[in-house]
Amino acid sequence: MNAFLKNLGIEANNPGAFNGKWFGSAEKIDVISPIDGKVIASVNQATPDEYEQTVAAAHKAFKAWRVIPAPRRGELVRQLANALREAKADLGALVTLEMGKIRAEGEGEVQEMIDICDFAVGLSRQLYGLTMHSERPGHRMYEQWHPLGVVGVISAFNFPVAVWAWNSALSAVCGNATLWKPSSKTPLTGIACTKIAAKVCERMDVDPAIFSLVVGRGSTIGEKLIGDRRIPLVSATGSCRMGYRIGEVVGKRLGRTILELGGNNAIIVTPEADLDMTLRAILFGSVGTAGQRCTSTRRIIVHESIRKDLTDRLVAAYKHIKIGDPLNENTLMGPLIDTDAVETMQAAIKTIKEAGGEILCGGEPLSGDKYAGGCYVTPCIANAKNEFQIVQDETFAPILYLIGYDKLDDAIAMHNGVPQGLSSAIFTRNLLEAERFLACTGSDCGIANVNIGTSGAEIGGAFGGEKETGGGREAGSDSWKAYMRRQTNTINWSTELPLAQGIKFGG
């Protein structure tokens, strides 16, 4: 096995559940690398009974963890950040091996984990409540925030470690335990991260079940998790279809959700744009992670006066993208996650043609010795119309749609004219155009950028979107509030008992 797997504690066969100890006796799954189609290792999933054991242990750990002062909880997260720094190269390599994103992106994802931990440490001393003036004399009012409980975290394959950290670091400083269900396509990174966190907990004499893990099928373990009343908050990243199901089940029991779902992100390119800078942003947004980011650039809405120029530049640039082994530092685009993803992309290209669109370049599966066993494709550019159903849907693959416009108002209408609302951008050197895009009548997305692409958010700002993207937010200045319960307190320090609103009751 690769040295970095050994360093991370990944064995040939791994138990898939952790609640302070490792176990797992359900069906074994082989984890296959999209790089070459070879088995990396196997994982024994959790049974329903083992899920119950894990939740019970996490809830017990929460009860002890919640009474520890928040700055002390922050110290544990600070040490977790340092442990991740030490493991950055190894964990980044595992992300690449298991998911397929290039090495720079794999290590960049681990850096996001480190950054959110550092961010959370600061927040551990800033879990502020407000004081309010009471209308009743001799009374004082204030609000405070208490730990919530066990937080369920469901992550997707495309960001197999960062999403857990976004939630677990903030949740931990707020006094909660987390129960993580990683994607069954990328469970090894979940096991590796949990082992790192457990060692930190052991050094600080903290029950490691505050970072619990369960690997299992969505139809069994996933359904139990989202229906579990012991889990007051479920934070889920994935498809819109998955979000509808989670929202329905958790909402029916009046639980909370943080949903970060699909994106159909567009860049408006005006005649005032710097096309050299625009080109670089489009390339990273559309080709990075092989188009498998929720923030990937999927649509370019370009003014007709510069459409041909930008199209020619993009087609030429796409032909020089180095595709191959993502562990090779010269590679710019690795494989799709699996053969199903390749087939989905091929079906989408067929649909584009049938709808009347035009494939300008790319879209072919790659074969030969260099790509043997892997899930490689060439990134695709297509002329399309915004109203095509295939354009309205999110295809999780490197397909970029070019759409023309004449008036900025029409461009913004097309930009907003999709069901999703995650990330957006405009490229222009015209201040009026930029401000028009950022106004309440402009982009309807949770993220709106000027002269920056749609992909590559920082943890200092709230991340998430509107409409079918789910409305949830992760990271950002007041993100901790989602992981706590709010309580309003009134203290009567007088010897009278006046009622609010001046109500007189009795004599």
| Strand order through the sheet with 39-44 | 13-15, 39-44, 28-32
Number of C-beta neighbours around residue 456 at 10 A? 15
Cα(93)–Cα(102) distance, rounded to whole angstroms? 9
- Whether 106 contacts 93, CB under 8 Å: yes
Strands 423-427 and 265-269, sheet pairing: parallel
Torsion sign across C-alpha atoms 54, 56, 57, 61: positive
- Whether 350 contacts 363, CB under 8 Å: no
The verdict on whether 294 is a catalytic residue reads yes
H or E element: which one contains 488? strand 484-492
Among 157, 147, 153, 148, residue whose Cα is nearest residue 179: 153
Among 231, 224, 195, 217, residue whose Cα is nearest residue 21: 195
Count Cα atoms within 13 angstroms, Cβ side, for 449.
25
Which residue do the tokens 């950054």 mark?
A: 115
* 484: Cβ contacts below 8 Å, ≥ 6 apart: 127, 145, 146, 147, 148, 174, 175
Cα(54)–Cα(213) distance, rounded to whole angstroms? 8
- Whether 436 contacts 408, CB under 8 Å: yes
The gap from C-alpha 228 to its chain's centroid, in whole angstroms, comes to: 22
The residue from 201, 294, 375, 445 that is catalytic is: 294
The residue from 107, 260, 394, 474 that is catalytic is: 260
Return the C-alpha torsion angle 333, 338, 342, 347, nearest 10. Answer: -140
The verdict on whether 260 is a catalytic residue reads yes
Enumerate the H helices of 356-504 as residue ranges: 389-392, 408-416, 431-438
* 251: Cβ contacts below 8 Å, ≥ 6 apart: 257
Count Cα atoms within 13 angstroms, Cβ side, for 47.
6
| Strand order through the sheet with 484-492 | 131-132, 139-147, 484-492
Cα(187)–Cα(110) distance, rounded to whole angstroms? 16
Strands 466-467 and 139-147, sheet pairing: unpaired
* 244: Cβ contacts below 8 Å, ≥ 6 apart: none
By CB atoms closer than 10 A (0-12, 13-18, 19+), residue 117 is: buried
Among 143, 215, 131, 145, residue whose Cα is nearest residue 179: 215
Catalytic positions, written as ranges: 260, 294
